[in-house]
């Protein structure tokens, strides 16, 4: 072998004598001499033919500015094994740099390249000799640029490991360096110890006895190159790796040992766990990395090692304890450097954090808006958890209901939660995602009658950035829309057949309130054909209680609710990030599963003076429509009926739309008599299409050109007639007159009620 390269074991064989299929295939390709950038140097056989090695020279595409010292020509050994394990690709350079994406081997050289992130068994289907060679060249090329390995990617897989995995706190890198050495509590993550999954958490202060492991976190100074260059087999080797990076591992262990080495009864008396001596020791080494030009750390490697022996044995091996017990003070001898303490490398992963959550959901960063979610039923529970698990929102969860068995058909949470308050369940589940953070508040109350929770609830609502109504109740939605808080209101609900999802989102400045948006939605139902049938209930045998057009019947499939809940989650996220008001609907086609998005236009309400204790909501869409109808009929007068809703509770009149002049009306230049052909049927249709939320609320007519909207003596008679009829309904009278300068609205009386 050429000078400067690491010797490869085995006897040299001819390519034709190879027996392992993949080795044969790669050698055959290279021998054809059709590859410009890879040349076969030699083939070797070893381990009685169980391993075959191809020595190959590859040309590397490398830039002028390189992150790592990768050469134009790199010599590698590819080790194929007879059992068809993943071929091991080793650099034969004895000075190969410590780059990212190297496998951790027992020895420092030869370096073993980590070519693939996927499982070898999954790769086999796509594996061809030329792709394999190209993948090796790609590894070198990207490593030369320093772009193979993203900082946030998990660390290199471990070749040498007993298969244990440990979950460490996600902020181990960033947490305050309050003490040099942190002690963590380690337990098995689940009941099944065969999972080999350990969970390391910060001690809570409560005494925890008999834990199988104790972990110490030590920190190295930022280094330009990786600190752990191969898998250390003993504590002593690990110490030697860390020492040049300013971390005296043995010293730190000896310091920590002061607390552990006493006799069990003393430990017990001090409130320590006397069994700690029987635990096994885990060392978590945090090794920050920096670039050559900077001094601050840019990312960190984290390595976890587990001893095979007990803490007591480790203390003996580092000179802090006698073989029969007792704490040793003083300078430990040269023989007490942890050489007998064997180590195993653990795969290290991080606990879930909001940052990780956002990242893994494809978002830049978590969103810290304070969100009060009201209503955690089928739709609400799914939608809220979907947002929360992406690191979206700081939540307060409000729902009085208890999870009942029949809820299980569609609710996010399962049978184990039956009997718990839905708000508590969601709070616990959301909190469990991020155990390092305060758990979301749960307020198990009815927002319409909060009772003892009134104060807590109103404080939460006042402090919120967003009030998210998922209640499936029009009454709750209107209540939330009008209560005192500067929070933006967003409402998401399903139609009765769960084919449509609707989002109403106020603009950030709250110029259009959620209740106004609700009535603009109704106008959309009346005027936009693509929304036809939105509130019509086609399912049979449905029990429905008054005023609620949104509550879901019991017989709709969970798949529909889940699908629309997912859309709702995304829609809420987008609505929050956008400052504008929106009314959007998504309609599911039950046959093709296609979803159609429908936008209903939004309008700012006009500012109108209140009439007595009544206020009125009118917007430009209606005003324009009335003006257009007048224009179309000039010089004659025209008119029609007004559609909308009198909210008796809030004393608010919403004027939404009009039914224009019926065909039998009399329309003269100075006279208008509204006809009635088909009017009753049309009013009924409107009523049905809006589930009773929009009805007849009054009359309007136009005045001729050059006239104002002041009522004439005839108009006074009409108003009296309206007043009489509406009084029977218990509603106020409403009349609008459209003149040159637009409409005037008269509510309750012609003098006072002019709006």
Partner 1 sequence: MATLTFYPLGNADCCLIKLDNAKKMLFDYANMRVDGDDTDKRIDLPAELKKDLGKRDYYDAVAFTHLDDDHIRRSSEFFHFLHAKKYQGEGRVKMNEMWVPAGAITEEKCEDEARIVQAEARYRLKQKQGIRVFSRPSKLKSWLEDNGMTVDEVRHLIVDAGQLVPTFDIPTDGVEFFVHSPFAKRLNEDETEERNRDSIVVQATFESSGTQTKVILAADTTHEAWADIVNITKFHGNESRLEWDLMKLAHHCSYLSLGPDRSTKKSPDKTPPTEEVKWLYEEQRQDHCRIVSTSWAIPAKGSEDDKSPQPPHREPANYYKEDVLESTELKDRWLVTMEQPNVASPKPIVICIDRYKATVEKASSVGIAASVSVSSPRAG
The residues that are catalytic are 637
Q: Provide, rounded to whole angstroms, the least separation between the CB of residue 40 and partner 1.
A: 14
Scanning the structure block, which residue is given the tokens 């262990």? 253
Applying CB under 8 A, among 2, 3, 11, 64 the residue interacting with partner 1 is 64
Q: Provide, rounded to whole angstroms, the least separation between the CB of residue 466 and partner 1.
A: 38
Q: In this structure, are residues 156 and 107 in contact, taking their beta carbons and an 8 Å threshold?
A: no
Q: Provide, rounded to whole angstroms, the least separation between the CB of residue 144 and partner 1.
A: 8
By CB under 8 A, residue 548 contacts partner 1:
no
By CB under 8 A, residue 59 contacts partner 1:
yes
Secondary structure class of 632 (helix, strand, coil): helix
Applying CB under 8 A, among 14, 48, 65, 271 the residue interacting with partner 1 is 65
E strands within 612-662?
Answer: 615-617, 639-647, 652-660
By CB under 8 A, residue 34 contacts partner 1:
yes
Measured from the CB atom, is 143 or 182 closer to partner 1? 143
By CB under 8 A, residue 35 contacts partner 1:
yes
By CB under 8 A, residue 47 contacts partner 1:
no
Single out the residue of 613, 615, 171 nearest to residue 436, CA to CA. 171
Check residue 718 and report its DSSP letter. Answer: H
Measured from the CB atom, is 73 or 671 closer to partner 1? 73
Q: Provide, rounded to whole angstroms, the least separation between the CB of residue 148 and partner 1.
A: 13
Measured from the CB atom, is 129 or 698 closer to partner 1? 129
User: Which region holds residue 163: left if phi is over 0, alpha if psi is between -120 and 50, else beta?
Assistant: left
Rounded CA gap, 297 and 290, in Å? 5
Contacts with partner 1, 447-486, as mask; x by CB under 8 A: ----------------------------------------
- Opening angle at CA 712, ends 709 and 714, nearest 5: 130
Stretch that binds partner 1, among 32-40, 87-95, 107-115, 231-239 (CB under 8 A): 32-40
Interactions with partner 1, residue window 82-141 (CB under 8 A):
128, 130, 133-134, 137, 141
Stretch that binds partner 1, among 60-68, 318-326, 463-471, 538-546 (CB under 8 A): 60-68
By CB under 8 A, residue 3 contacts partner 1:
no
Stretch that binds partner 1, among 67-75, 224-232, 320-328, 416-424 (CB under 8 A): 67-75
Q: Which residues of 25-58 are buried (b: 16+ CB within 10 A; e: fewer)?
A: bbbebbeeeebeebbbbbbbbeeeeebbbbbbbb
Measured from the CB atom, is 68 or 202 closer to partner 1? 68
**Residue 703 preceded by cis peptide, ω within 30:** no
Measured from the CB atom, is 125 or 681 closer to partner 1? 125
Concatenating the DSSP letter of every residue in 517-578 gives HHHHHHHHHHH-GGGTTTT---SSS----TT-SSSPPTTS-HHHHHHHHHHHHHHHHHHHHS
Measured from the CB atom, is 35 or 242 closer to partner 1? 35
Q: In this structure, are residues 383 and 399 in contact, taking their beta carbons and an 8 Å threshold?
A: no
**Axis-axis angle for helices 249-257, 235-242 (nearest 10):** 120
Applying CB under 8 A, among 66, 187, 196, 363 the residue interacting with partner 1 is 66
What are the CA-CA distances from residue 305 to residues 196, 286, 302, 344 (Å)? Answer: 14, 12, 10, 5
Q: Which residues of 443-468 are buried (b: 16+ CB within 10 A; e: fewer)?
A: bbbbbeebeebeeebeebbeebbbbb
Stretch that binds partner 1, among 69-77, 166-174, 395-403, 673-681 (CB under 8 A): 69-77
Measured from the CB atom, is 65 or 206 closer to partner 1? 65
Rounded CA gap, 19 and 683, in Å? 87
Stretch that binds partner 1, among 64-72, 276-284, 404-412, 491-499 (CB under 8 A): 64-72
By CB under 8 A, residue 56 contacts partner 1:
no
By CB under 8 A, residue 72 contacts partner 1:
yes
Interface with partner 1 (CB under 8 A), residue total: 23
Concatenating the DSSP letter of every residue in 350-368 gives E---HHHHHHHTT-SS-EE
Measured from the CB atom, is 34 or 194 closer to partner 1? 34
Applying CB under 8 A, among 4, 16, 19, 37 the residue interacting with partner 1 is 37
Measured from the CB atom, is 293 or 546 closer to partner 1? 293
Q: Provide, rounded to whole angstroms, the least separation between the CB of residue 494 and partner 1.
A: 49
Secondary structure class of 264 (helix, strand, coil): helix
Stretch that binds partner 1, among 36-44, 342-350, 629-637, 667-675 (CB under 8 A): 36-44
Write out the H or E segment, with its range, that includes residue 683. helix 679-689
Stretch that binds partner 1, among 66-74, 170-178, 316-324, 589-597 (CB under 8 A): 66-74
Single out the residue of 359, 354, 383 nearest to residue 369, CA to CA. 354
Q: Provide, rounded to whole angstroms, the least separation between the CB of residue 140 and partner 1.
A: 10
- How many residues would you count in the chain? 755
Applying CB under 8 A, among 46, 68, 101, 145 the residue interacting with partner 1 is 145
Q: Provide, rounded to whole angstroms, the least separation between the CB of residue 59 and partner 1.
A: 5
Measured from the CB atom, is 96 or 413 closer to partner 1? 96
By CB under 8 A, residue 63 contacts partner 1:
yes
Rounded CA gap, 607 and 601, in Å? 19
The alpha carbon of residue 26 and the mean position of all alpha carbons in its chain are separated, in whole angstroms, by 44
**Axis-axis angle for helices 21-31, 129-145 (nearest 10):** 80
Secondary structure class of 656 (helix, strand, coil): strand
Rounded CA gap, 693 and 441, in Å? 34
Q: Provide, rounded to whole angstroms, the least separation between the CB of residue 18 and partner 1.
A: 20
Measured from the CB atom, is 141 or 216 closer to partner 1? 141
Q: Provide, rounded to whole angstroms, the least separation between the CB of residue 72 and partner 1.
A: 4
Single out the residue of 215, 226, 100, 104 nearest to residue 151, CA to CA. 100
Rounded CA gap, 463 and 485, in Å? 8
User: How many other C-beta atoms lie within 10 A of the C-beta of residue 472?
Assistant: 22
Q: Provide, rounded to whole angstroms, the least separation between the CB of residue 8 and partner 1.
A: 22
What are 672's strand-pairing partners?
667
Write out the H or E segment, with its range, that includes residue 121. helix 120-123
Applying CB under 8 A, among 60, 285, 426, 618 the residue interacting with partner 1 is 60
User: Which tokens go with 617?
Assistant: 């909501």
By CB under 8 A, residue 697 contacts partner 1:
no
What are 306's strand-pairing partners?
282, 344
Stretch that binds partner 1, among 57-65, 219-227, 250-258, 586-594 (CB under 8 A): 57-65
Q: Provide, rounded to whole angstroms, the least separation between the CB of residue 529 and partner 1.
A: 43
Applying CB under 8 A, among 71, 510, 570, 651 the residue interacting with partner 1 is 71
Rounded CA gap, 589 and 499, in Å? 7
Stretch that binds partner 1, among 28-36, 152-160, 321-329, 516-524 (CB under 8 A): 28-36
By CB under 8 A, residue 73 contacts partner 1:
yes
Q: Provide, rounded to whole angstroms, the least separation between the CB of residue 79 and partner 1.
A: 22
Rounded to 10 degrees, the C-alpha dihedral 218/221/225/231 comes to -20
Q: Provide, rounded to whole angstroms, the least separation between the CB of residue 69 and partner 1.
A: 10
Measured from the CB atom, is 57 or 740 closer to partner 1? 57
User: Which tokens go with 381?
Assistant: 């529970």
Q: In this structure, are residues 583 and 520 in contact, taking their beta carbons and an 8 Å threshold?
A: yes
Measured from the CB atom, is 137 or 479 closer to partner 1? 137
By CB under 8 A, residue 4 contacts partner 1:
no
Interface with partner 1 by CB under 8 A: which residues? 34-38, 59-66, 71-73, 128, 130, 133-134, 137, 141, 145
């Amino acid at each position: 072998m050429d000078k400067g390269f690491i010797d490869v074991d085995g006897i040299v064989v001819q390519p034709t004598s190879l027996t392992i299929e993949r080795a044969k295939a790669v050698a055959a390709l290279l021998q054809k001499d059709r590859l410009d950038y890879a040349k076969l140097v030699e083939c070797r056989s070893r381990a009685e033919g169980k391993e075959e090695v191809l020595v190959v020279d590859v040309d590397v595409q490398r830039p002028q500015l390189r992150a790592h010292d990768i050469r134009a020509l790199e010599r590698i050994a590819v080790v194929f094994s007879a059992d068809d394990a993943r071929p091991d690709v080793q650099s034969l350079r004895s000075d190969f740099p410590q780059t990212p994406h190297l496998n951790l081997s027992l020895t420092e050289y030869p370096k073993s390249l980590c070519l693939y992130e996927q499982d070898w068994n999954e790769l086999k289907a796509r594996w061809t000799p030329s792709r394999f060679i190209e993948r090796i060249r790609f590894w070198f090329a990207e490593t030369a640029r320093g772009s193979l390995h993203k900082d946030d990617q998990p660390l290199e897989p471990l070749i040498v490991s007993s298969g244990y995995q440990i979950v460490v706190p996600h902020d181990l890198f960033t947490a305050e360096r309050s003490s040099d050495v942190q002690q963590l509590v380690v337990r098995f993550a689940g009941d099944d110890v065969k999972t080999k999954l350990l969970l390391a958490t910060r001690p809570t202060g409560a005494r925890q006895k008999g834990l199988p492991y104790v972990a110490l976190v030590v920190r190295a100074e930022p280094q330009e190159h990786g600190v752990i260059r191969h898998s250390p087999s003993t504590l002593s080797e690990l110490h030697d790796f860390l020492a040049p990076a300013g971390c005296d591992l043995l010293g730190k262990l000896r310091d920590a040992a002061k607390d552990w080495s006493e006799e069990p009864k003393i430990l017990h008396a001090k409130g320590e766990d006397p069994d700690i001596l029987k635990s096994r020791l885990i060392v978590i080494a945090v090794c920050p990395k920096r670039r050559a030009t900077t001094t601050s750390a840019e990312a960190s490697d984290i390595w976890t090692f587990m001893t095979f022996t007990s803490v007591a044995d480790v203390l003996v091996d580092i000179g802090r304890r006698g073989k029969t017990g007792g704490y040793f003070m003083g300078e430990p001898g040269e023989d007490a450097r942890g050489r007998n303490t064997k180590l195993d490398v653990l795969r290290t992963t991080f606990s879930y954090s909001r940052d990780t959550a956002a990242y893994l959901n494809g978002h830049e960063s978590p969103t810290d808006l304070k969100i009060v979610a009201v209503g955690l039923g089928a739709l609400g529970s799914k939608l809220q958890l979907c947002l929360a698990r992406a690191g979206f929102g700081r939540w307060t969860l409000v729902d009085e209901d208890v999870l009942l068995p029949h809820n299980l058909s569609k609710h996010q949470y399962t049978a184990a939660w039956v009997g718990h308050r839905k708000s508590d369940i969601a709070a616990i589940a959301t909190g469990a995602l991020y155990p390092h953070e305060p758990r979301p508040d749960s307020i198990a109350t009815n927002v319409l009658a909060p009772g003892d929770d009134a104060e807590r609830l109103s404080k939460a609502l006042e402090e919120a950035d967003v009030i998210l109504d998922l209640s499936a109740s029009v009454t709750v939605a209107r209540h939330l829309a009008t209560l005192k808080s500067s929070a933006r209101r967003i409402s998401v609900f399903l139609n009765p057949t769960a084919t449509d999802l609707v989002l109403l989102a106020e603009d950030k400045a709250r110029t259009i309130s959620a209740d106004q948006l609700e009535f603009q939605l109704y106008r959309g139902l009346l005027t936009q054909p693509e929304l036809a049938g939105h509130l019509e209930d086609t399912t049979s045998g449905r029990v429905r209680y008054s005023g609620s057009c949104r509550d879901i019947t019991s017989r709709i499939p969970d798949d529909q609710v889940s699908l629309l809940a997912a859309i709702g989650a995304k829609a809420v996220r987008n609505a929050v990030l956008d400052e504008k008001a929106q009314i959007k609907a998504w309609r599911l086609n039950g046959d093709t599963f296609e979803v159609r998005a429908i936008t209903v236009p939004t309008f700012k309400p006009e500012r109108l003076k209140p009439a007595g204790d009544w206020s009125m909501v009118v917007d430009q869409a209606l005003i324009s429509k009335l003006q257009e109808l007048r224009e179309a009929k000039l010089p004659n007068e025209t008119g029609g009926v007004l559609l909308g809703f009198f909210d008796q509770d809030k004393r608010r009149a919403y004027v939404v739309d009009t039914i224009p002049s019926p065909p039998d009306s009399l329309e003269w230049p100075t006279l208008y008599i509204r006809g009635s052909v088909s009017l009753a049927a049309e009013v009924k249709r409107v009523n049905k299409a809006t589930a009773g939320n929009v009805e007849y609320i009054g009359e309007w007519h136009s005045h001729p050109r050059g006239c104002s909207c002041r009522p004439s003596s005839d108009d006074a008679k009409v108003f009296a007639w309206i007043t009489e009829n509406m009084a029977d309904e218990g509603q106020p009278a409403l009349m609008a007159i459209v003149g040159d300068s637009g409409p005037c609205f008269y509510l309750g009386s012609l003098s006072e009620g002019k709006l």
